[in-house]
Amino acid sequence: MDDVSKLMRRHTYVTKTSTSFIYGILVSIAVNFFWTPGHIYSSGITGLAQLLNTISSRALPFTVSTGLGLFLLNIPLFLVAWRGIGREFTIFTIITVFLSSFMIQLLKPVPLTHDPIICAIFGGAVNGFGTGTALKNGISTGGLDILGLVIRDKTGKSIGSINIAFNALIVVAAGFAYGWPYALYSVIGLIVNAKVMDMTYTKQQRMQVMIITNRPNTVIDSVQNHLRRGITIVHNAEGAYQHDAKTILFTVISRYEMGELEEALLESDPNAFASISDSVKILGRFYEPKP
C-alpha cells in the first residue's frame, strides 16, 4: 500500500512539474509574441513586471526585464505562501514562476503582428488557457493567487476588490505609457484572459443540482461515494403523470465534477431526472480541496 501511495505521489509531482513547464511556455508566448509587440499589459504581477520593465527602460540606467521582474516581485509572496498555505504548494509555485520567468527570458520577442487588438485577444487567450490548465492541475501561477488563497483561508472572504483595483492600476499605467487606446486594448486582453481561463478551469464554477428519484438512498450513497458533497432531501414528492412517490435531492457541485455526478446517477438510478443550473452565489460552507 505504501508503494502505491508513493507511486501516486510521484505521478502527481511529475504531472505538476510538466504542467508548470507548459504554463511557462504559454505565458512566454503570450508576453513575447503578442503583448510586448502590441504594447499590451497583462493582469496581476505579470502586468506589474511589464510595467517595471517599461519604467526602468525609460527612467533608469538599467533595464529590469519582464522575466526577472516577474520572479523578483513574487519573492515576498513565496514567503507568504510558505507561512500561510504550505510547503508543497509553495515549492510548486516557485517552480512555476521560475520556469515562467526563465522562458520569458529565453524566448525573445517575435512580432507576429503589431496590431494591438489581435495582440490583446490572442495574448489573453494563450495566457488564459495556460493559467486555467495550471489551476486545473492544482498548481498556482503565483502573484495575487497566493494572496487570494491566504485571505480566503483566514477570513473566508475573496480579494475580488483588490484584484479589480490592481488591474485598474495596470490599465491606467498602459494608458500613460503607450496612450489611452492601449489602455482599452489591455482591457480587452484582460477580459479574454478571464473568459478563456474560466472555460479551462471549471472547479470554481458552482452548479445547483436537483435530482428527482424513487431510489433516494441508492442515489445518495452513489453520489457521496463519487463526490464529497452534502445533499438535502425533500420527502413526499409526487409525479404528476402517474402519481407515483418521488424524492427530491438538492446539492451544489462544481462544473469540474459534472462527469462524476453523471457516472454516479447512471450507477444508482438511470431513470432519475436531474436538473442542473448555474449557481450565481453561495452562502455558507462549500467544501473545496486544500491546495
User: Whose CA is closest to 22, among 96, 104, 93?
Assistant: 96
Q: What is the pLDDT of residues 190-219, one digit of tens each?
A: 889 888 887 877 666 678 899 999 888 999
pLDDT of residue 154: 66
Residues whose CB is less than 8 angstroms from the CB of residue 248 and which lie 6 or more positions away in sequence, other chains included: 210, 211, 212, 233, 234, 237
Query: Is pLDDT larger for residue 122 or for residue 57?
Result: 122
Domain layout of the chain by residue ranges: 2-200, 206-278
Q: What is the pLDDT of residues 238-290, one digit of tens each?
A: 888 888 889 999 988 877 677 888 888 988 988 889 888 876 566 666 666 65
Q: What is the pLDDT of residues 48-66, one digit of tens each?
A: 899 999 989 888 888 899 9
The CATH number given to 206-278 is: 3.30.70.120
Secondary structure in 3-state letters for 55-69:
HHHHHCCCCCCHHHH
pTM listed for this prediction: 0.74
Q: How far apart are the first and last CA of the chain?
A: 24
pLDDT reading at 75 higher than 80: yes
Alpha carbon 106 to chain centroid, angstroms = 25
pLDDT reading at 139 higher than 60: yes
pLDDT of residue 254: 78
Is the Cβ–Cβ distance between 191 and 214 less than 8 Å?
no
Average pLDDT over residues 105-115: 84
Q: Give percent above pLDDT 90 in the chain.
A: 25
Q: Give percent above pLDDT 70 in the chain.
A: 87
pLDDT of residue 290: 58
Side-chain-facing half-sphere of 185: CA atoms under 13 Å: 26
Burial 267-288 (b: 16+ CB within 10 A, else e): ebbeebeeeeeeeeeeeeeeee
C-alpha cell of residue 43:
493582469
**What is the rounded distance in angstroms from the CA atom of residue 8 to the CA atom of residue 4?**
6
pLDDT of residue 62: 87
Residues whose CB is less than 8 angstroms from the CB of residue 47 and which lie 6 or more positions away in sequence, other chains included: 41, 167, 170, 173, 186
